Every structure is written in C-alpha cells, then in structure tokens.
Amino acid sequence: MESLLIKGGVPLHGDVVISGAKNAVLPIMAAALLTREPCVIRRVPDLSDVRFMGQILTWLGAEVKMEPGTIRICARKIKGSGDYDLVRKMRGSICIMGPLLGRLRKATVSLPGGCVIGARPINLHLKGFEALGAKIRIERGYVQAQARKLVGAPMFLGGRAGSTVLGTANVMMAATLAEGVTVIESAACEPEIVDLANFLNAMGARIAGAGSPTVTITGVKELHGAEHEVIPDRIEAATYAIAAAVTNGEVTLHGARADHMRAVIDKLNEAGVAVERRGASMTVRRNGRLKAVDVTTLPYAGFPTDVQAQFMALMAVTPGISIITERIFESRFMHVSELTRLGADIEIEGPSAIIKGGKPLSGAPVMASDLRASAALVLAGLAARGTTQVNRVYHLDRGYERMDEKLRKLGARVQRIEES
C-alpha cells in the first residue's frame, strides 16, 4: 500500500482545477445501463471508484471505454446481476440496481461496501422499488428485486437522517421506464441529483423538480443515448479552499461552483476566510485571524457531512473553542483520534466534537479510516510542523484525483511512497 509523506508549514499558493464530481459521475455511469444506445460522459475524474464502476458495468455486459476525462458506455446487451467482489467494495455501486430493475425488470446486487462511517442501510431504496411494484428478497448477502412491470406511484423517501441521495437516484432511474407517474416526496436536493436528472432528461426521460424535495417522473417506453458533462466536485473544491485557509495561503479554484457551496462558504467567511468569486473561479485566503465557529452537518443545502472532517482540521489550528455536530452518520469521527496524534485537542461528546483549537500541530504517522478522514489528515499534515505520514492513501484515491500532484503544484511538500 502507498502513503503520503508531508513536510508541513508551507503556505499554499497558486491555481487548482476542480475535477468532475465523484458523487455525480457514479450514478450517471449507472444510468447508461437504461439504454441500448451509446452514451458519452465528459469531465470524468480519474478515481479508483470510477474504475471500479467501469469494471462493474463491464461485468454486466456493457462496453466501457475510458479515455482521459471521458467515458463511453454502450450497454446493448446486459445481465441483471452484479459481481459480489466488485460491488461489495464500493457503496456507490448499489446505484446499478435502479437501472437494472428499470430496464430488465429484475436485479440481483450484493449488499454494498464503502467507507466505515456508520450504518447506511438501503431500506429506503427498497421501499421505493416496492412502491413501484417490485418484490424484494435479501439472502446470502444479495438483494434481489423483480417485477412483472413497474408502475409509477407516490412515495416518501425521508429517513432518520433526512433524505437519501443514492436512494433518490436509484428510484428516479427505475421510475424513468415505469408506467405512469412517480412522485418522490422528501427527495434528496443535492446538486448531484440535479446532474443525474439532467443526464436522464437528455436521454429522453421526463423528470421535473430535481433539486427540490418533490421530484416527479413521468415514465417513458425507452431511453436513447446522450452526451453529458459532469458538474464540478463541490467537496473537492471545499477541501482545497480549506487547504488554503489552514496553511495561511492563497489558492484560486478554477471551475468551482459557488452556488453549490453556499453553506461551506458561509462558515469559511464566519471563520475569517475570504472567498472572492471571479466568474467560474474563486480565490480563497485568510482575512485576518481565524475565528472558532460551530458547525452542524445537515442534508443539502446544509453543511455537508463530506466536509466535516476537513473543517475539523481547520478548527484544530484556530484559536478558541468550536463544536462540530454530526447529524448524518453516527460513526464519522474516526479521524479524531488521528488528529489528536498530531497534537489537536478534541473531545467527543455524543454526536459532537469539541475542539479546543490554536495549539501547534506536529507531524506524526497517522492512519486514514475513510475517504474524507484521509483528506482531513492531509490538511492537518500541511499545517503541522515536521513530517506527517498518512497511511492507507488508497482511501484518498477513491475521491480525489491526483491530490498529491495538485498539492505539489500549489507548493506543498508532498511525496507518495510505498508503506514500509
């Protein structure tokens, strides 16, 4: 396995191009299974999760051609079951279930894996499929869904932590080929859902209301091929924005969508970080001393859970006491113990982390537990004195395109090495 070796204490300066959104491209790739015609997807990030999804689609029978920044998919003939060893590695792979059910009226998919950040049941996905007329059975680690026909229906997909992003995407894809009208209440409002709806509509689907809590899908008989450009990754953009702040540097993010990042920008401004928007770019730098702020993660358009760990790294170097409350995933504080190894003063009380910030961080070996925790440890390492070794960097490669290369272009002293 590989690690990142970071010599901290260098302010970042320069420009970084934001890649396509991981959480948008995976369901869009899956949506290509809904048609026999070729689909072309552009601004595709080079990530291990994207390559895994390409392998899953190939296993299902699709022709997948990956080029730099572009994927071409043609699913002329496909089968209705996903490979266990592939699907279990990545939670996002569950989104093949909706397209398979929509097109073939049957789907067999293994229960998915992914980051260890708490329980993420797929019961809302299955609830939606059942509302469309599918019969569900779970046995020996597989979910089996089957229907003679799918019929549109009203449904409520709200859960304990709010709406479900992948569940909304999955049901929305299946419903495009159902008879009649499907209305999803408490639908996820994330930009990635809007991006998927735009792709599906380009394929001939009839979807209205994406980006709001009520999404209406009027079923059609078939879909056709389409071309689509994926939205920029708002989580990657937030991570580099925080990297500029945590190192007291100045970084311009090219292609970042400020309208997708309002909650993050608001908290950065509150913390004393200036964000200057210039067309399709934004420049981030400190605006005086950093200030401690409180954050609570919420479904979109609230503060994203996927930025919680990175923001905690910033608060760890910010004088004062801040409280970060996690309302989406109950086990998403596994990075706390590793941040404390670098000198951060953080205590956990229930769903909240109390950060007594401002103490200098010092480099140490740390272990990444999940994708966003990896990013937080990298950010802390950039701010720390001395050398930090972030182990299990494969987590990082799931969601950040060549992060070490991008950081080096900003002046960071980062080296990828083989773990000893």
| Pair 318, 381 in one domain | yes
| Pair 262, 388 in one domain | yes
| Pair 176, 303 in one domain | no
| Pair 215, 304 in one domain | no
| Pair 368, 240 in one domain | yes
Catalytic residue flag (residue 115): yes
Q: Which residue's structure tokens are 């769903």?
A: 351
Q: What is the pLDDT of residue 179?
A: 98
| Pair 201, 322 in one domain | no
Whichever domain contains 65, its CATH number is 3.65.10.10
Domain end position, chosen among 229, 252, 274 = 229
Q: What is the pLDDT of residue 88?
A: 65
Q: What is the pLDDT of residue 12?
A: 98
Q: Which residue's structure tokens are 């004088």?
A: 319
| Pair 244, 162 in one domain | no
Q: What is the pLDDT of residue 83?
A: 63
| Pair 261, 126 in one domain | no
Identified catalytic residue from 39, 74, 95, 115 = 115
Residue 99, helix vs strand vs coil = helix
| Pair 333, 345 in one domain | yes
Host domain of residue 75: 22-229
Q: What is the pLDDT of residue 115?
A: 40
| Pair 6, 30 in one domain | no
| Pair 298, 328 in one domain | yes
Number of domains forming the structure of the chain: 2
| Pair 183, 275 in one domain | no
Q: Name the pTM for this structure.
A: 0.96
Digit-by-digit pLDDT tens for the chain (420 residues) are 899 999 999 999 999 999 999 999 999 999 999 999 999 999 999 999 999 999 999 999 999 999 999 999 999 999 877 666 666 666 668 899 999 999 999 999 887 654 433 344 788 999 999 999 999 998 887 889 999 999 999 999 998 878 999 999 999 999 999 999 999 999 999 999 999 999 999 999 999 999 999 999 999 999 999 999 999 999 999 999 999 999 999 999 999 999 999 999 999 999 999 999 988 899 999 999 999 999 999 999 999 999 999 999 999 999 999 999 999 987 689 999 999 999 999 999 999 999 999 999 999 999 998 999 999 999 999 999 999 999 999 999 999 999 999 999 999 999 999 976
